[in-house]
A and B are shown apart, each in its own frame.
Chain A
């Protein structure tokens, strides 16, 4: 009997069903019309319509990061596909599993500069983990299943599947998941036992150890975060988490030192600098973390656990490389540690913690008192105080507000923090929050942003309104690209070249125009009530908080400096209060 035949569009739907996909973020167009027609006739798969394809990808990222599942995007050919490039690059840099299905002109027209033709596989080759052009409908199911496998296995990342219109319309056979594994791609998840033993030996002999963990722990799944905590507790070692790793260890844990790097805590950076054994678990020695490489942890023997062998020995040479999934390796590491009955040097560890205590006493995240208007740190801090007992998901845009959110909002669970770490994409926050809310309909989702980033994907307020996604937006009005202004102040004699936003909309009116609730806090005194009003409102809210326009992010390791050359922020005693009536430019 011949196998049953399906149209390409039906095959796409069947694959999505078999892959347990419950929502697609998409935007229709000419070549994907047959797909949209099939979508119309069913109601198992939910379709969310963001207002821009870039936002569709960021939404899929927010969904993926907050649920641990693959985010799925569906866009049309040409401009639909090119609009996804920033989102795909973002997902690649931050290792987020996304499958992006793009329409393509019919195979017979490819290469003819047809209407809305773009060389999608060519354009996205360097911003995806892998991409495919499906040439025959019989290959469609296999390739699409394979795309899901590639997106989530090994180091996760975005995968593009380009579908010519004739493939969508053609009829062919269905290949089930089991028959669709890539022949060549077999990432290694178990770490080498000999290397793990060697790591345990180094760790046991450490006098000033540190565990430095990153997004790889989150990507491995919640069990890996549990294991990280366990490793910290049985060893007694301090832990620092990168921007991508926040939540992998409860921030409330006594052994947690905060984030390392350019705007990390004093204690985390000093401990990174002075340690004698560093265990990197799923982080990648990013330049924003290491500072000047020549002076990075100069006395430390380094162990690096990463699922991606190309992350190892890329920036920093390590003594013990371990290729494998963070969760698997942590499990084995703990086993070996326990079974070999190592006795860490208690006296040395005690002295190390005393030293760390002295660094902590600097209270590097203390900020100055409010003037008439709120300090931005205060606004973020008060937001955290108001939500900390709830299970809260936080997305940010990029800039000062992002760093303040990372510094003042603390997470006790993984998959709660969505931020563009690697690419630093302004415009990420609102759509990512939207995606997180779609994935967690009953969760409290907050977006922390500021005007310049916010304006880059502000159209998504309409999506919030349409789907009644109750995202709470904390918008910090500091009048400028605060982060750019900060660098201009510090390194360019305060020449504020093009960093001040001289015209911005009235945010409350804007919210109103989009059909969502708008609130404003103009003075520090109004902040608490405004946050409360935002949180109790049943629906999306845009809360605009006017903040001190001249506040800077501290601590700071200037670009190209080393960890111990950190600059701490001004204190109330020494500060010249920048007050509310300071005008920029």
Chain B
């Protein structure tokens, strides 16, 4: 039985869907229509032959709400499978960000130094700017972006989280 205590937790949910028009709108509509949170959502085709896409959703809610979200997703006609990676146990989560920093002199050097610590790569550079590519857990990206702020951060593009279970199991 589900506990009724109202503690909010974050869950990463993977959804395998038919790759058809409207399926993303349906998933997003479900979240907005029922007032659930979306912290991050990514989608891409993962199996062209079978015409399947995988959606990764990071959401938060009480245990009761998370159960609802999964049940609501499961009953959508084009949904094949729903997996709560947070509940299933060990999994890897990754996000990528492109981060543009503008600056010269000391600040420019400092941004490079921090990028090095975070294993971010320079993918574009001008005399006055860098674009860093950084990969990691969302919290690592948050930390990096935070440190870049005083150094001339001007633009960010993030992919949202993708996730996969560790070990042998597959969706």
Contact = CB atoms under 8 A, between A and B. Distances in A.
A130 B77 contact: yes
Interface in B25-39: 25-26, 29, 33
Q: Give the interface size class of chain B.
A: 20 to 34
A307 B64 CA distance: 18
B25 A317 contact: no
B71 A312 contact: yes
B77 to A, nearest CB: 4
B1 interface: yes
Given A125-B25, A125-B29, A126-B33, A313 B79 contact: no
Given A155-B75, A309-B71, A313-B67, A184 B25 contact: no
B2 A183 contact: no
Given A183-B18, A185-B77, A317 B71 contact: no
Contacts of B80: 183-184
Nearest to B63: A313
B77 A310 contact: no
Given A121-B22, A125-B26, A313-B67, A308 B1 contact: no
B78 A184 contact: yes
Given A317-B1, A317-B4, A125 B22 contact: yes
B110 interface: no
A285 B2 CA distance: 17
Contact of B77 (A184, A314, A319): A184
Contacts of B71: 308-310, 312
B68 A313 contact: yes
A288 interface: no
A154 interface: yes
B77 A129 contact: yes
A150 interface: yes
Contacts of A318: 1
B94 to A, nearest CB: 27
Contacts, number: 52
Contacts of A111: none
B89 interface: no
Nearest to A130: B77
Contacts of A312: 71
A310 B2 contact: no
Interface in A390-424: none
B77 A150 contact: yes
Nearest to A146: B77
Contacts of A30: none
A202 B64 CA distance: 23
A313 B64 contact: yes
Contacts of A150: 77
A122 interface: yes
B72 interface: yes
Contacts of A133: 21-22
A240 to B, nearest CB: 24
B84 interface: no
B74 interface: yes
A182 interface: yes
Contacts of A126: 29, 33
A309 B17 CA distance: 18
Secondary structure call for the A interface: loop
Contacts of A184: 17-18, 77-80
Contacts of B78: 130, 182, 184-185
A319 B2 CA distance: 9
A313 B21 contact: no
Contacts of A314: 68
A195 to B, nearest CB: 12
Contacts of B1: 317-319
A155 B72 CA distance: 12
- The interface centre, meaning the residue of A129, A155, A317 with most chain B CB atoms within 10 A of its CB, is A317
Interface string B60-103: 00001001100110111111100000000000000000000000
Nearest to A187: B75
- The interface centre, meaning the residue of A182, A183, A312, A319 with most chain B CB atoms within 10 A of its CB, is A183
A182 B67 CA distance: 25
B68 A308 contact: no
A392 B108 CA distance: 84
Interface in A94-124: 121-122
A282 to B, nearest CB: 16
A310 B18 contact: no
A131 B25 CA distance: 12
A317 B72 contact: no
A530 B71 CA distance: 52
A284 to B, nearest CB: 13
Contacts of A155: 75
A121 B21 CA distance: 10
B161 to A, nearest CB: 24
Interface string A291-321: 0000000000000000011101110011100
A310 B34 CA distance: 12
A312 B21 CA distance: 29
B18 A317 contact: no
A319 B80 CA distance: 28
A576 B167 CA distance: 76
B11 to A, nearest CB: 16
B64 A309 contact: no
Contacts of A121: 22
A185 B17 CA distance: 11
A150 B1 CA distance: 30
Contacts of A125: 22, 25-26, 29
A133 B18 CA distance: 15
Contacts of B21: 133
Interface string B8-29: 0000000001100110011001
Given A126-B29, A126-B33, A317-B4, A309 B74 contact: yes
10 contacts: A125-B26, A154-B75, A184-B78, A184-B79, A308-B71, A309-B74, A312-B71, A313-B64, A317-B1, A317-B64
Cβ-closest 5 pairs across A and B: A310-B71, A130-B77, A309-B71, A184-B80, A185-B77
Given A125-B22, A184-B78, A308-B75, 7 more contacts: A121-B22, A125-B26, A126-B29, A126-B33, A154-B75, A317-B4, A318-B1
